[in-house]
Amino acid sequence: MRSCRWRAAGLLATGALLLSACTGPKAAEPGAPDAGAAPVLDGPLRVAVISHGTAGDAFWNVVKNGAEEAGRQLDVQVEYQSDGDPGRQAKLIDNAVAQRVGGLVVSMANPQALRPSVENAVRAGIPVITINSGEQQSAEYGALTHVGQNESLAGERAGERLAELGKTKLLCVIHEAGNVGQAQRCSGAEKGFAGSTSTLQVDINNPADVQARIRGAVQADGSIDAVLALNSQVAANAVGGIEQVGSPAEVATFDLNSDVVAAIRAGDVLFAVDQQQYEQGYLPVVFLKLYHDNANVVGGGKPVLTGPDLVEKGDIARIADYVERGTR
């Protein structure tokens, strides 16, 4: 696994500039059940990173790279696990609590399903940082802070940019039913876009059907001139479906990988909304190390934003190598 390396001391100095005092995790309510033994505090810090990603997913591989690189630099034991099913993800959190980890990093695509497990971790004295999804529920559940992209703002910026490019009718493609972040992206895009918008629900686990549904949508409505994908794989399906019917629609997407870089370079994709997910793995490990060693907290009660960074054709030369090595 390739990832960039920096000196740990330099990173801690940079991180210190971000520090501000705020309250830690909320205290357990009187009579609240004990979620388990207190975390192990002696020896190297042990952090469990538990995401809703799927094995081999290019996006979550970059998150994993960031978390593991921070662990190497700071002598933190990082254990990454993922499961796209909310119930199974909750069990992974419960198992980490039972194993008395020193810190938890959790993505919350389905916050309500994870709430009991996250709150039990907080009651057990385990500091929690949420990432990627669940920004609105993070503080309520007792997390130290949230690290990620504000999905509504990111969607709004994507919609604004498409409007600036002269687009008048937008199709926003949601690929995971029940994912609050994706709904927020499309709502934000609608807010930022000057023209008409609609959404299309697809299943990312069936790429052929995704392409067929997008193809059918742009074929049925020839006035659609912009398709916003919320995932790099869906972007590729959108490009393929549009080409099959000769639609004038153009594609923009969320998230970067090497295929999206090539598509932007070739002019097949207008731009990518990059939430810089490497930071979503890297920064929480740094924050938990600072909390463990010095009781520092970051964010002043507000989320730490990792994006959006809009990547267009003129930006590709600057970031292509980072995407290739798995850090963008």
Query: 158-174, pLDDT tens digit by residue?
Result: 999 999 999 999 999 99
Model confidence at 33, pLDDT cuts 50, 70, 90, reads: very low
Model confidence at 58, pLDDT cuts 50, 70, 90, reads: confident
Model confidence at 52, pLDDT cuts 50, 70, 90, reads: very high
Task: Read off the pLDDT of each residue in 58-71 and give the average, rounded to a whole number.
Answer: 95
Architecture of domain 151-274: 3-Layer(aba) Sandwich (3.40)
Spans of all domains in the chain? 8-148+276-307, 151-274
Query: Identical fold at 8-148+276-307 and 151-274?
Result: yes
Helix (H) or strand (E) holding 130: strand 128-131
Listed range (77-81, 94-98, 199-203, 231-235) with the worst mean pLDDT: 231-235
Higher pLDDT, 100 or 35: 100
Residue 54's pLDDT is 83
pTM of the model: 0.79
Paired tokens of 180: 């609050």
- How many whole angstroms separate alpha carbon 45 and alpha carbon 285? 10
Q: Is 29 exposed, middle or buried (0-12, 13-18, 19+ CB in 10 A)?
A: exposed
| Average pLDDT value over all residues in the chain | 89
- How many whole angstroms separate alpha carbon 155 and alpha carbon 252? 11
Alpha helices (H) along 53-85: 58-74
- How many whole angstroms separate alpha carbon 112 and alpha carbon 137? 9
> What is residue 313's DSSP assignment?
G
Q: Domain 8-148+276-307 carries which CATH code?
A: 3.40.50.2300
Three-state secondary structure call for residue 29: coil
Listed range (9-23, 53-67, 162-176) with the worst mean pLDDT: 9-23
Listed range (27-31, 136-140, 142-146, 255-259) with the worst mean pLDDT: 27-31
Sign of the alpha-carbon torsion through 156, 160, 161, 165: positive
Is pLDDT of 25 > 50? no
Task: Sort strands 250-254 and 304-305 into parallel, antiparallel or unpaired.
Answer: unpaired
CA distances from 106 to 80, 81, 177, 179, 232 (A): 10, 10, 19, 15, 22
| Residues paired with 311 in a beta bridge | 272
Task: List Cβ neighbours of 12 (8 Å cut-off, separation of 6 or more).
Answer: 74, 286, 290
**pLDDT tens-digit profile of 275-317?**
999 999 999 999 999 999 999 999 988 999 999 999 999 999 9
- How many whole angstroms separate alpha carbon 57 and alpha carbon 326? 12
Are the beta carbons of 130 and 147 closer than 8 angstroms? yes
Task: Read off the pLDDT of each residue in 267-275 and give the average, rounded to a whole number.
Answer: 97
